[in-house]
Amino acid sequence: MTCIVRDIIGGEDAITLDDGQKVYDRVHPDLAAGHSVELDFAGVSVFASQFFNAALGQLLKEHKPEDLNRLLRLSNLSPVGLAVVRRVIENAKRYYSEPNYREAQRQVLQAMSEGN
């Protein structure tokens, strides 16, 4: 199955958590069923890590990296977008595989929200 990211998010800017969640919601059921998915980024020119955290990073909660490598294909993604994806995926792998890292992240975010 091919998903046109521009159609899912309604534009050329892949920057918000909400838009990333739309992509996640669209691809997750197929990936969970073991089906291959292609995300086509044609016409998308602006990227932010928060978009990819929601769209792809959270997939690593339920899927092994090797399964995602086999089932998920990204096409027409600019070198800048690809660099952001790689950073997000590496961070998500660490976040979901290392409980101590996850707890440290939680503590930092809590301290930031409390103004410490």
Delimit the domains of the chain by residue range. 2-114
Q: What is the pLDDT of residue 60?
A: 85
| H helix count then E strand count, the chain | 6, 5
Confidence at residue 93, expressed as pLDDT on a 0 to 100 scale? 81
What is the mean pLDDT of each successive set of 10 residues along the chain, which is 116 residues long?
A: 96 94 96 95 92 90 87 94 90 75 67 70
Strand ranges inside the chain, DSSP E? 2-4, 13-14, 37-40, 46-47, 72-75
Which tokens is 87 given?
Answer: 């950073």
Q: 84 with 55: CB under 8 angstroms?
A: no
- Token pair belonging to 45: 């020119």
What is the pLDDT, as a whole number, of residue 105?
64
- The pLDDT score that the predictor gives to residue 62 is 85
